[in-house]
């Protein structure tokens, strides 16, 4: 079955690497208009665009800037006339032992991960309401469901996104807008490159995943694409665990 999203416009945050890049490539293959954001990787963004056919645009967006976020949505609508799908993937992950973490460190991560979720959603909803159709897909985490020692700020941000998903599902459903999350565990992307240099830790991580392997970015992007299609029309408020079952294993 070929997925065809021709004439749909998709806004993907954090699209220059990892899960976001895989989403850009997969959505581009469906014929959708794709706009993706990046923070610093302009050359990488340009390289991705040069490799793909179709209507693909990249925007530099500071995830801590409400003005940047609002402007990126306006530019997307100006270019393509609407926004049908929001894939909010952008975010950061770093260490945060509770006794060593200061309030600025805590707040910065929540601004980037959680505040941006609110701001992007708030900005796209009016355009989705006009069409009585929309798909909001957030990239959360196993950490948001079970917590994560030494990363409490990250877990709190993802837990907030999960609750936000459920809230929006109820609030926006009557407008033909569904809101769902995809929750990865460990994924083989640049975000984890330093962690994965420790091969003993890599083996331990694999052993903690019931299917015995770490996810690729494509493993996560595929289910995200699915949630944007007609195959998922009756899915709303779901936290789709795409982590090989690791969320079940503590």
Phi, psi of 12 (to 5 degrees): -115, 120
Q: CA 151 to CA 71: how far, in whole Å? A: 31
Tell me how crowded residue 147 is: count the other CB atoms within 10 A of its CB. 14
The four Cα atoms 182, 183, 186, 192 give a dihedral, to 10 degrees, of 70
Name the β-bridge partners of 137.
87, 180
- Whether 150 is catalytic is no
Angstrom CA distances, 141 to 110, 138, 145, 164, stand at 14, 10, 7, 13
Query: How would you label 87-109 residue by residue, b for 16+ Cβ within 10 Å and e otherwise?
Result: bbbbbbbeebeeeebeeeebeeb
Spot the catalytic one: 127, 150, 154, 175. Answer: 154
| Cα gap 8→153, rounded to integer Å | 35
CA neighbours closer than 13 Å in the CB half-sphere of residue 13: 28
Q: At what angle do helices 18-29 and 217-227 cross, to 10 degrees?
A: 50
C-alpha to C-alpha distance for 200 and 212, rounded to whole angstroms:
14
Annotated catalytic sites, by residue?
Answer: 154
């Amino acid at each position: 079955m070929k997925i065809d999203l021709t004439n749909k416009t998709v806004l993907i945050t954090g699209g220059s690497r990892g899960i976001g890049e895989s989403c850009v490539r997969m959505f581009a293959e469906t014929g959708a208009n794709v706009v993706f954001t990046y923070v610093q990787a302009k050359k990488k963004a340009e390289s991705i665009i040069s490799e793909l056919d179709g209507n693909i645009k990249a925007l530099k967006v500071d995830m801590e800037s409400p003005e940047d976020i609002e402007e990126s949505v306006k530019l997307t609508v100006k270019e393509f006339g609407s926004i049908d799908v929001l894939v909010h993937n952008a975010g950061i992950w770093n260490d945060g032992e509770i006794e060593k973490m200061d309030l600025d460190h805590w707040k910065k991560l929540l601004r980037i991960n959680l505040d941006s979720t609110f701001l992007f959603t708030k900005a796209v909803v009016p355009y989705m309401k006009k069409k009585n159709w929309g798909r909001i897909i957030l990239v959360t985490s196993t950490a948001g469901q079970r917590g994560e020692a030494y990363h409490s700020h990250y877990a709190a941000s993802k837990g907030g996104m999960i609750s936000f998903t459920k809230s929006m599902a109820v609030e926006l459903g009557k407008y033909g807008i569904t809101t769902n999350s995809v929750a990865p565990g460990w994924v083989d992307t640049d975000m984890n490159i330093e962690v994965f240099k420790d091969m003993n830790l890599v083996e331990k991580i694999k052993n903690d995943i019931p299917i015995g392997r770490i996810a690729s970015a494509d493993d996560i992007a595929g289910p995200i694409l699915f949630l944007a299609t007609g195959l998922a029309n009756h899915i709303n408020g779901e936290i789709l665990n795409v982590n090989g079952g690791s969320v079940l294993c503590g």
